[in-house]
Amino acid sequence: MNESTFPGTEHVTDHLSGRIPGHHPSPEPAQPFSTPPRPVTTPRALPDNYAEMPKPTAKLTAEDLAPVNDPNGPRHKIGPTGRPLPDLPVPQPPAKTGPAQVIAMCNQKGGVGKTTTTINLGAAIAETGRKVLLIDFDPQGSASIGLGVQPHDLELSVYNLLMQRDITPDEVIRPTRVENLDLLPANIDLSAAEVQLVQEVAREYTLQRVLDPIIPNYDVILIDCAPSLGLLTVNALTASNGIVVPLECEFFALRGLAMLTDTIAKVQDRLNPKLEIVGILGTMFDGRTTHAREVLDRVVQAFDERVFHTVIRRTVKFPETTVVGEPITTYAPSSQAATQYRDLAKEVLARCPAG
Ligand SMILES: Nc1ncnc2c1ncn2[C@@H]1O[C@H](COP(=O)(O)OP(=O)(O)O)[C@@H](O)[C@H]1O
Ligand SMILES: [Mg+2]
């Protein structure tokens, strides 16, 4: 990925470079985010052609595969990412509520499991006794639908909160059927915000301003981003401490990831230095195909310990949960899919300092 402007982020460029929005003096080309990404927080970029990357060499030994709980055995069992699984503690309910960790589910590619992860990770964290808010930040309203809310019936949505100063969060936030899990719903109105926000002062900080007063009321806030890297997503990244990147385990996922990490580095540099990648999550993993395993191997080579040990396997259960409008953790509480999201919740909480 070079330094060219991403479609939909020109306004960010304008804001960051101090130019008048929409005014591009010629002949000088736009130089968005010209500061190089910080080496410490930026993962190694993936090569454009991942086939050029060296093949993984690690061979699993019988010792690696021995069970975790064997007191005489080696340390740990190998997980689906090819690394020893950590022994993570069962998260205990927090002594007090807040301040919230704000985590954006982000990948500009659609259909990679952002919404599914927001809903089910949110529900799994809520099960631990933490107060969780899900923010639907996609005009398609999929997170709202997935929790049984019909977007076209909404009188107020996150759009009103962003655009009208006289609306307060408690007028828009609603409880869900899951204990400890609240929803800030969205609908197609939000697509207008992408355009209207361009006129606002400090437009990249609009969501952060809206969230500030409710940070003490929650332990975790998860933002379900739209499949784009436009101003709404930049708002989500600016309001967050962490990012979870769901990644469908298939070839083209990798190229999108290089573009995404580039954008994240630019937001870190210009708008939000506290933003960190909490982890990269393999989704729709089919362990029976060598292709899915190869993709996961490559992602681990490039991003090392940033890749979650938990991988979400492909199952028809998720499309079913959308129909019934509830998370997998309540729809099929003892399913493998529910267990995977509970494991992910443990990892996310372990990685967030105030988890
Ligand atoms: N692990 C999975 N196995 C099978 N289908 C899945 C899985 N995760 C998500 N899906 C389905 O894939 C589709 C896209 O997922 P979604 O979470 O909406 O992606 P995004 O929000 O990134 O567009 C949905 O129909 C969802 O039900
Ligand atoms: Mg979605």
Distance 107 CA to ligand 2 centre (A): 10
Sign of CA dihedral 235, 171, 138, 302: positive
Per the prediction, the chain carries an average pLDDT of 82
Q: Is residue 278 part of a domain?
A: yes
Q: Is residue 50 part of a domain?
A: no
Task: Dump strand ranges (E) for the chain.
Answer: 101-105, 132-137, 174-175, 181-184, 220-225, 242-248, 276-285, 307-313
**For a substitution probing ligand 1, which of 118, 318, 323, 341 has the most ligand atoms within 8 Å of its CB?**
318
Closest atom of ligand 1 relative to the 321 alpha carbon: 27
Angle at 218 between CA 156 and CA 275, to 5 degrees: 95
Q: Is residue 211 part of a domain?
A: yes
Q: Which two tokens stand for residue 14?
A: 């304008």
Q: How far is CA 180 from CA 42, 92, 119, 135, 187, in A?
A: 34, 14, 13, 14, 23
Helix axes 10-17, 231-239, angle to 10 degrees: 60
Please tell me the predicted confidence (pLDDT) of residue 88: 84
Of 61-65, 230-234, 276-280, 309-313, minimum mean pLDDT range: 61-65
Q: Is residue 7 part of a domain?
A: no
Take atom 17 of ligand 1 and give the residue whose Cα is closest: 113
Instruction: Establish whether residue 283 lines the binding site of ligand 1, counting it when its CB lies within 6 angstroms of any ligand atom.
Output: yes
Q: Which two tokens stand for residue 170?
A: 């408690």
Q: What is the CATH number of the domain that holds 242?
A: 3.40.50.300
Given a contact cutoff of 8 angstroms between Cβ atoms, the answer to whether 160 and 172 are in contact is: yes
Q: Is residue 48 part of a domain?
A: no
Q: At residue 71, does pLDDT exceed 90?
A: no
Take atom 9 of ligand 1 and give the residue whose Cα is closest: 113
Please tell me the predicted confidence (pLDDT) of residue 28: 45
Q: How many domains does the chain have?
A: 1
Distance 225 CA to ligand 2 centre (A): 7
Please tell me the predicted confidence (pLDDT) of residue 20: 41
At 353, is the pLDDT very low, low, confident or very high (cuts 50, 70, 90)?
low
Given a contact cutoff of 8 angstroms between Cβ atoms, the answer to whether 52 and 312 are in contact is: no
The percent of residues in the chain predicted with pLDDT above 70, rounded, is 78
Give the end-to-end CA distance of the chain in Å, rounded to a whole number.
Answer: 34
Q: At residue 344, does pLDDT exceed 50?
A: yes
At 40, is the pLDDT very low, low, confident or very high (cuts 50, 70, 90)?
very low
Q: DSSP label at 188?
A: T
The whole-number average pLDDT for the span 223-230 is 96
Q: At residue 188, does pLDDT exceed 50?
A: yes
Which H or E run contains 27?
none
The whole-number average pLDDT for the span 163-188 is 97
Most confident stretch, 24-28, 203-207, 297-301: 203-207
Please tell me the predicted confidence (pLDDT) of residue 13: 40
Q: At residue 72, does pLDDT exceed 70?
A: no
Residue 317 identity: K
Q: Is residue 18 part of a domain?
A: no
Given a contact cutoff of 8 angstroms between Cβ atoms, the answer to whether 11 and 198 are in contact is: yes
The whole-number average pLDDT for the span 234-260 is 89
Q: At residue 253, does pLDDT exceed 90?
A: no
Q: Is residue 133 part of a domain?
A: yes
Instruction: Establish whether residue 114 lines the binding site of ligand 1, counting it when its CB lies within 6 angstroms of any ligand atom.
Output: yes
Instruction: Establish whether residue 293 lines the binding site of ligand 1, counting it when its CB lies within 6 angstroms of any ligand atom.
Output: no
> Taking the CA atoms of the chain, what radius of gyration do you get in angstroms?
20
Q: What is the pLDDT of residues 297-324, one digit of tens each?
A: 888 988 888 999 999 999 999 988 988 9
Q: What is the pLDDT of residues 88-103, one digit of tens each?
A: 888 999 999 989 999 9
* Other CB atoms within 10 A of residue 332 CB: 17
Instruction: Establish whether residue 333 lines the binding site of ligand 1, counting it when its CB lies within 6 angstroms of any ligand atom.
Output: no
Please tell me the predicted confidence (pLDDT) of residue 105: 98
Instruction: Establish whether residue 111 lines the binding site of ligand 1, counting it when its CB lies within 6 angstroms of any ligand atom.
Output: yes
Per the structure, the complete domain to which residue 190 belongs is given by: 59-84+99-351
Q: Is residue 46 part of a domain?
A: no
Three state DSSP letters for 34-102: CCCCCCCCCCCCCCCCHHHCCCCCCCCCHHHHCCCCCCCCCCCCECCCCCECCCCCCCCCCCCCCCCEE
3-state secondary structure of 248: strand
